Amino acid sequence: MRPPFLALLALLSMTLTSSNVQAAKPVKTLPNGLRTVIVEDHASPVVSLQIWVRCGGVNEAGLTSGVSHFLEHMIFKGTDKISANEISKIVESNGGSINAATASETTHYFIDMPSNKWEEAFDVLSQSVLNPAFPPTEFEKERRVILEEIKRRNDDPQSDLWDGFLEALYTQTPYRQKVIGSVQTITDMPRSLMVDQHKKYYVPNNMVVVVVGDVKKKEVSKKIKEVFGGLPKGTLPPAPNLIEPPAENSDVRTIRRSAKQAYLALGIVGPTLKDPNQVAMDVLAATLGGGQSSRLYQTLREEKRLVWSVSSSFITHSGSGAFGVFAECPPEKVRSLPNDIYFLFHEIEFNGFKPEEVARAKAQLRSSWLFSQETYHGQASQWGFYTTLGAPELVSHYLKRLDAVTPKALATLLSQYTIGRPMGGIVVTPENSSVQ
Amino acid sequence: MTAALSVVRADTTTVQEFSNGLKWIHRTVKHNRILAFQMFIPGGEIQEPVEQAGLTQLMTATMVKGTTHRSALDLAQEMEMLGASFGVDAQPDAMAVGGQVTVDKWVKTFDLFEDILLRPSFPEAEVEKERAALLNAIHTNDEHIFNVAEERFRQELFGSHPYGRPDGGTVKSVSPLTREDLVAWHKARVSPRGAVLVTVGNVPLGPFRRRVEAFAHAWSDSPSAPSSSPAVVYPTVSRVAEETKPFEQSYLMLGYPAPSVDSPRYPVVKLVNALLGGGMSSPLFRVVREEGTLAYEVSSFFPSRRRGSSFVVYAGMDPKNLGLAEEKVRSVLADFASRPPAAQDLEDAKNYIRGHFLMDHQTNGRLAWYLGWWELLGKGFAFDTIYPDEISRVSAEDVHRVYQEILAQPSVTVRVISKGSSSVPTP
């Protein structure tokens, strides 16, 4: 089974577009700054309604760590007019599902459902996001639920790996924050902090509304204007600095814990979302470790038999992105892995990339893009992510940029990012292993 | 020569049966450029001898690691150049080979598909690598609390039946498997008799049909028809099992025997599952998580199985809440048995199932999966359009009666107790 964190990487590193959405250029901005994306498509009688907010782990520090995620949990706990139970009941009794997710830079809420009741669902979603009541009793109950979620997360070795990876790469910028917070910050968090976070960030000029599916564009546009059009612009707090300076030293820390195998995450900070090299970094990651014919897989798993699995990804952020190599292996073999990876990268730098391996990586990325467009939820998520981070044009330009990537350009990127700078990372290994 | 026995067209679906037992179902879908393909071959894990448990999983993993025409690297390179996704999988009731590709690449992709399915070479070195990977997967299964609970639950409920075995076998059963075992298992079990190939996409039907016919012709009939799978024997008394593991959480899994997919009670239990554990408005979620704040996750499931299934409720919680959470779960289950569901609740649950069914049919891949799955299970691919109607016909009395029948059976309770926490008294 694909590890959850790798699935997350896949989502974050996905870059998307499609022929119909390219033509439509569906991003509009209301006078109050709200951005909207409406894609009308009648292939399936369903719809995905999503509201994205540019608020996440990077908008927190110290005692506020985890507030955005806590806030996300409280959004569906009712408004002055509708109870928590009614919110889920309205959606689920009409055949839909309702959920939300918080990441380092975004929080998003969605309802996927048969399209015949889209308007009712839109009211539920928008009122929940805009007018949460934050009932104090529910707040205290949800605190206990989140503390439980932290325990659940702690039981997964890959959570330690992911947290450690981000801490190793990001020493200056808030990408190192744990989105879920800590037992301490959640235990101590006052309700007022959440109310304040909502007031500051849940304003139209910091939000994106996305509707994709079996709907009439005109009707949706009218509805969005009715609900959001009268909201005043908010004054946003200063944006955090999200440009991470290159690391000066290579540091691979070890965590010992209950685990049956060793895990390695090794990487380096990379270009920003708007950097011209952003798409090329996707190709670099896919060429090095995107499939079974990739260099990392062939060398580390098939030839040297050092790992059970290995892959590489580029994680897209609006600020400094992250290039990472992720491996699972027997504990006794994890110590040598960073050197094996460095050695392999040096070898590639010396000999260059073969045109056919780059072509394979591009073919994989192209197909992934197309497959991801099959569901309305997938399309809406992609529009939401890139529009929220201020780069909706990537949705239209991605394939062109993909086509333009050459083996020579990849070799330059490899030198610049993975060889020219020290890589950092984390090893998670069983308590009783002898890894130093 | 494998002859086409019949060709039936219904709307955009073409069905063709071949004399070797293979059935091909093709659905034309024009709104995208993706071809999805899904092959189900009946049997597999359920037919493995207990001492060779894991044989099907090891065989399927190694099928993509070399054929008589291509090395493992050749296969990987060709698939990736096509941008194709490809998966070979061992499931309790079937082996599945499937994937997707853009329609313009269907010719080369079908060549690969045929090569992998019919001509795997099981190179010795690749068998060893895949065995090592499978043994590691067996070890690391213990890192996930849900897997620990679910594996123990199946063991307790299904006993010696193959459904009760750990996924992928055990260290003891996988370690001695040889290349010859894989070759023999492939010869015996990868048979066209009863196999179902489903393709969904906007391919040129004439050339595509000729290619499928050539494939069917190349696939010789099995020397022996798939043997019937054993019947499930459920426990005669309720059982409680505890596992102590080094997790921060504790976990509860509580369940009962439930009907197989060909039972008339199947759609009724799907509704029971939706009524009790379907979504955030379900009583399990509301009482245990929202009102009691006793667990982060709580839900239920009812897998579709050919020989007998289970209705299961699960919850993950702080170790100190295990006893109280179990008490609450049991009270929700008992309360639901006390009367038929309200008419509105039943209608809501039907909408919930129908809506999710609709949303799960958005991709060609899922559509291919559903069509093949119903066919494999003996319901026929057309059940995909009938299923929502069957759900609609279930009455509140049906739910009440069938649910009481389920609860009257011996149950299985599994508690995964966090190492270091004190044992939890049974409510």
Report the distance separating Cα B31 and Cα B35, nearest Å: 11
Interface of A with B in 365-384 (CB under 8 A): 366-368, 370-371, 373-376
pLDDT value at residue A4? 34
Percent of chain B with pLDDT over 90: 86
Q: Using the 8-state DSSP alphabet, how is residue B48 labeled?
A: S
d(CA A145, CA A76): 14
Residue A291 at interface with chain B, using a CB cutoff of 8 Å: yes
Rounded distance between C-alpha atoms, residue B413 and residue B327, angstroms: 12
Angstrom distance (rounded) from CA A388 to CA A377? 16
Judged by DSSP in three states, B296 sits in coil
- 8 Å CB contact between A273 and A321: yes
Phi, psi of A314, deg, nearest 5: -115, 125
Q: Which of residues 123-182 of B touch A (CB under 8 A)?
A: 129, 132-133, 136, 139-140, 142-145
Listed as own residue / partner, the contacts of A109-112 with beta carbons closer than 8 Å and 24 or more positions apart are: A109/A50, A109/A51, A109/A72, A109/A75, A110/A48, A110/A49, A110/A50, A110/A51, A110/A377, A110/A380, A110/A381, A111/A48, A111/A49, A112/A46, A112/A47, A112/A48, A112/A49, A112/A376, A112/A377, A112/B359
Residue A34 has pLDDT above 80, yes or no: yes
Residues 6+ apart with CB under 8 A from A162: A5, A8, A265
Facing B278 at nearest CB: one of A92, A94, A141: A92
User: Does residue A363 have a pLDDT over 80?
Assistant: yes
Helix (H, G, I), strand (E, B) or coil at B198: strand
Chain A to chain B Cβ contacts (< 8 Å): 160
C-alpha distance from residue A398 to each of A269, A315, A394 (Å): 21, 15, 5
Contact B73 A298 (CB under 8 A): yes
Read off the amino acid at residue A419. I
Q: Which of A18, A92, A299, A356 to mutate to test the interface with B (most CBs of B within 10 A)?
A: A92
CB contact, 8 Å: A135 with chain B? no
| Contacts B34 to A, Cβ<8 Å | 370-371, 374
Please state, as a whole number, how many other Cβ atoms lie within 10 Å of the Cβ of residue B366: 17
Beta carbons of B296 and A293 less than 8 Å apart: no
**Chain A residue with minimum CA distance to B131:** A308
Between strands A46-53 and A35-40, the pairing is unpaired
B360 touches chain A (CB under 8 A): no
The pLDDT of residue B1 is 45
Residue of B nearest to A257 (CA): B246
Predicted local confidence at residue B423, as pLDDT:
44
Share of chain A above pLDDT 70, in %: 94
d(CA B4, CA A380): 44
Q: Are B18 and B192 in contact (CB under 8 A)?
A: yes
Position A436 scores a pLDDT of: 57
Q: Answer whether residue A170 shows pLDDT above 70.
A: yes
Please give the backbone phi and psi of residue B250, each rounded to the nearest 5 degrees, phi first: -115, 170
- For the four alpha carbons of A52, A57, A59 and A64, in that order, the dihedral sign comes to positive
Residues in chain A: 436
Q: Nearest residue on chain A to B291, judged by CA atoms?
A: A141
Q: Could you identify the residue written with the tokens 């490809």? A: B86
Residue A350 has pLDDT above 50, yes or no: yes
Which of B109, B140, B281 is the best residue to mutate to test the A interface, defined by the most A CB atoms within 10 Å of its own CB? B281
Q: Give the minimum alpha-carbon distance from A185 to chain B in angstroms, rounded to a whole number.
A: 18
Name residues whose C-beta falls within 8 Å of residue A234's C-beta, 6 or more positions apart in sequence. A199, A200, A201, A203, A204, A205, A206
Contacts of A93 in chain B (CB under 8 A): 281, 347-348, 351-352
Residue A216 pLDDT > 80, yes or no? yes
Q: Are B34 and A43 in contact (CB under 8 A)?
A: no
> Do the chains contact at B359 and A89, CB–CB below 8 Å?
no
Q: Which of A292, A299, A369 is the mutation pick for testing B, counting most B CBs within 10 A?
A: A292
Contact B207/A at CB under 8 A: no
Tokens linked to B201 = 């996409």
Distance of CA A354 to the CA centre of its chain: 31
Q: Which residues of A touch B140 (CB under 8 A)?
A: 260-261, 328
Is a pLDDT exceeding 60 seen at residue A176? yes
Taking residue B183's Cβ as centre, other Cβ atoms within 10 Å add up to 15
Confidence category of residue A113, pLDDT binned at 50, 70, 90:
very high
CB contact under 8 A, A45 and B248: no
Stretch A234-242: mean pLDDT: 97
Residue A2: the pLDDT is: 31
Instruction: Determine the average pLDDT of the residues in A86-91.
Output: 94
Residue from B17, B20, B173, B189 nearest B91 by CA: B189
Nearest to B359 among A112, A258, A293 (CB): A112
Whether A281 contacts A270, CB under 8 Å: yes
CB contact under 8 A, A374 and B293: no
CA distance A186 to chain B (A): 15
In chain B, % helix, strand, coil (3-state, to 5) comes to 45, 20, 30
d(CA B307, CA B194): 17
Across the interface, whether the CB atoms of B83 and A154 are under 8 A apart is answered: no
Q: Which residue has the higher pLDDT, B231 or A185?
A: A185
Mean residue pLDDT of chain A comes to 91
Contacts of B355 in chain A (CB under 8 A): 94-96, 113-114
With CB atoms and an 8 Å threshold, state whether A374 touches B81.
no
Q: In the structure encoding, which two tokens stand for residue A14, read together?
A: 């996905």
For the segment A16-24, the average pLDDT, to the nearest whole number, is 40
Q: How close is the nearest chain A Cα to the Cα of B71, in Å?
A: 11
Cβ A152–B316 below 8 Å, yes or no? yes
pLDDT for the residue B227: 61
Q: Please report the pLDDT score of residue B425 as a whole number.
A: 42
Question: Residues 293 to 332 of B: which have CB under 8 A from any A CB?
Answer: 293, 295-297, 316-318
**Rounded-to-integer distance, Cα A68 and Cα A109, Å:** 13
Collapsed DSSP state (helix, strand, coil) of residue B408:
coil
Structure tokens at B113: 């598909």
Q: In what order do the strands lie in the sheet with A252-257?
A: A252-257, A424-430, A262-270, A321-329, A309-315
A3 touches chain B (CB under 8 A): no
Contacts of A296 in chain B (CB under 8 A): none
Instruction: Identify the residue among B80, B249, B288, B360 best suited for mutation to test binding to A, counting A beta carbons within 10 A and taking the highest.
Output: B80
C-beta atoms of A361 and B295 within 8 A: no
Average pLDDT over residues A240-255: 91
* Residue A200: closest CA among A322, A409, A54: A54
Q: Which of B177, B67, B59 is nearest to B121 (CA)?
A: B67
Q: pLDDT tens for residues B239-262?
A: 999 999 999 999 999 999 999 999
In chain A, residues with a C-beta closer than 8 Å to the C-beta of B129 are 301-302, 305
Are the C-beta atoms of B44 and B189 separated by less than 8 Å?
yes
Rounded to 5°, angle at Cα A113 from B276 and A10 = 95
The answer, for A188 touching chain B at a CB cutoff of 8 Å, is: no
Instruction: Tell if the CB–CB gap between A261 and B136 is shorter than 8 Å.
Output: yes
Q: Which of A42, A124, A161, A260 to mutate to test the interface with B (most CBs of B within 10 A)?
A: A260
A positions 311-350 inside 8 Å of B (CB): 328, 330
Q: Binning pLDDT at 50, 70 and 90, where does residue B10 land?
A: very low
For A126, residues 6+ apart whose C-beta sits below 8 A from its C-beta are A51, A209, A227, A228
Mean pLDDT for B149-168 is 95
Residue B343 in this model has a pLDDT that exceeds 80: yes
Residue A359 to residue B351, Cβ atoms within 8 A: no
Q: Using CA atoms, how far apart are residues A85 and A413, in angstroms rounded to an integer?
A: 51
Q: Is the pLDDT of residue B7 over 60?
A: no
Q: Say if residue A10 is exposed, middle or buried (CB neighbours under 10 Å; 0-12, 13-18, 19+).
A: middle
Angle, helices A67-75/A191-201, rounded to nearest 10 degrees: 80
Q: Is B327 exposed, middle or buried (0-12, 13-18, 19+ CB in 10 A)?
A: middle
* Pair B47, B226: CB distance under 8 Å: yes
Contacts of A154 in chain B (CB under 8 A): 248
Chain A residues with CB under 8 Å of B360 CB are: none
Contact A97/B at CB under 8 A: yes
Mean pLDDT of chain B: 92
Structure tokens at A255: 């965590």
Residue B426 pLDDT greater than 60, yes or no: no
The CA distance from A145 to A129, in Å, is: 20
C-alpha span between B380 and B375 (Å, rounded): 4
Contact A44 B358 (CB under 8 A): yes
DSSP secondary structure letters along B325-344: HHHHHHHHHHHHHTSPPPHH
Q: Identify whether the C-beta of residue B276 lies closer than 8 Å to the C-beta of residue B332.
A: yes
Residue A286 · residue A350 · CB < 8 Å: no
**Phi/psi of residue B65, nearest 5 degrees:** -110, 30
User: Contacts for B5-10 with beta carbons within 8 Å, 24 or more apart?
Assistant: B10/B382
The string of pLDDT tens digits covering residues B187-229 is 999 999 999 999 999 999 999 999 999 999 999 876 655 566 7
